[in-house]
Every structure is written in C-alpha cells, then in structure tokens.
Amino acid sequence: MNGIEKQYVIDALAEDSWRMFRILGEFVQGFEELADVGKAVTVFGSARLKEDTEVYRKARELAADLARQGYTILTGGGPGIMEAANRGAIDVEGRSVGLNIDLPHEQAPNPYLTDSVDFKYFFVRKVMLVKYSTAFVIFPGGFGTLDELFEALTLIQTHKIKPFPVYLIGVEYWRGLLQWLQGTLLRHGTISEHDLHLFKVVDDVSTIADEIEAYYRSANHGGFNLPW
C-alpha cells in the first residue's frame, strides 16, 4: 500500500469515527427530548394527502380522540397525514410531537407541533418511534409508510419488542397488500397464519382510541393481549 492509499484509509476511518459520534449524539438527543413523553401513539401516512381528503379528516379525528385519552401524538412531523394527526392533537390541546427527518429536499415541520425533534438518520428516528409508542396507526402512504409498517411487524414477529396494536386504516387501500400476503407469502410458507394477526385493517376509526387504552391498561397489569 503506497502513501496515497494509506492516507485514504486513514481519512475514511476518521470520517466513519466521526459519523459514529454523530449517530450517538442523535440517540442521546432523542432520548433526552422524548424521556417525558408518557404514553404515546405514532401515526404514519403519506405526506402527499391534502386537507380535503377523507383520510386526512380521519387522521385528525382519531388523533383528537387519542389526545383526549391522554396520549401524546407522534408523527414524522411533515405535511399530509402527519400534519392531520398533529393537528388533531392540537385541536384538543394535547401534546403533538414531530420527529422530523432531514431530507435532500427539505421537509419543513408542520405548524401543529408542541415539540419538534430533528434527525439526520432514518434508523435513529425509527428507534425513537418504536421505543416511545404504545401503538402504531398506519394510514395510506408510500415507501416510507410501508418501511415503518414492516419494521414494526418484523420486531413484533421476532419478539424483539413486546407486541402492541398496529392498525392499518383503509380496507380498500390495503386490500392488494393483504391479498399478496395471504396468496403469496402465506401460501409459500414464508410467513405463518399467526403473522397475519399482528395487525388489524379497519375503515372505522371511532373505536381505536378506546381499544388502545384497553391494551395499554392490560399491558401495565402484566398482560399483552392485542385488542382483537
């Protein structure tokens, strides 16, 4: 190895070492900012869905119901469904937290936040969302929403975390995914029948807050029964 190659290796190692400290710093910041969050529900969904859509209205309505039950609402802090959920919490003077991600095309935090925490690394943010959540509510969304959904299901399936409620909102929207899970994954034996019961698909959001509260109470009394 010549001198130029050695210097390149040294520089790369130094860059990785500093990156490690930046990652550690983000974890420390997240733990400190969210330490007092209490019981919380994370709401996911597309940043592209507007205020005049039915899904936006449902997300806002459900977040308000949850906030009335004393839940902090956690989102990615951006527009669309995230904004709707944060807005629902603010509607009833609840706590509304946005875990915003630094993207190449900057994503500005929505205006309905009582707290905002910024992250550079997606995986750090995902740890925070899982660590501090009592339940996940997944509204229609794209790749990012699917990423969060399958991350949670994998952690529950592999017993890396205690089971918690995972709701998919919109029967028609998720129908194709369910058909694929049942007709391809289950048929080929790559998932089990039990795995299909790790989540619930619904249209009606009116009972979700009560179901999550019932789960929260059972979990804090030594049980972990999902509300379905």
Mean pLDDT of the chain: 91
In degrees, rounded to 5, the angle at the alpha carbon of residue 106 between the alpha carbons of residues 105 and 110 is 135
**pLDDT at residue 219 tops 60:** yes
Q: What is the pLDDT of residue 176?
A: 98
Pairing mode of beta strands 135-138, 200-202: unpaired
Cβ neighbors of 129 (< 8 A, separation 6 or more) are 42, 74, 99, 148
**What phi and psi values does residue 134 have, to the nearest 5 degrees?**
-90, -25
Q: Which residue has the higher pLDDT, 65 or 19?
A: 65
Q: pLDDT digit string (tens) for 84-128? A: 999 999 999 999 999 998 876 656 899 999 999 999 999 999 999
For 39-219, the fitting CATH number among 2.40.50.140, 3.40.50.720, 3.30.2130.30, 3.40.50.450 is 3.40.50.450
Cβ neighbors of 187 (< 8 A, separation 6 or more) are none
Of 153, 114, 143, 144, the residue nearest 33 (C-alpha): 114
Q: How far is 190 from 210, CA to CA, in rounded Å?
A: 33
Q: What is the pLDDT of residue 15?
A: 73
Say which range, 5-19, 72-86, 154-168, 196-210, has the weakest mean pLDDT.
5-19
Q: pLDDT digit string (tens) for 51-74? A: 999 999 999 999 999 999 999 999
Quickly state the pLDDT bin for 182 (edges 50, 70, 90): very high
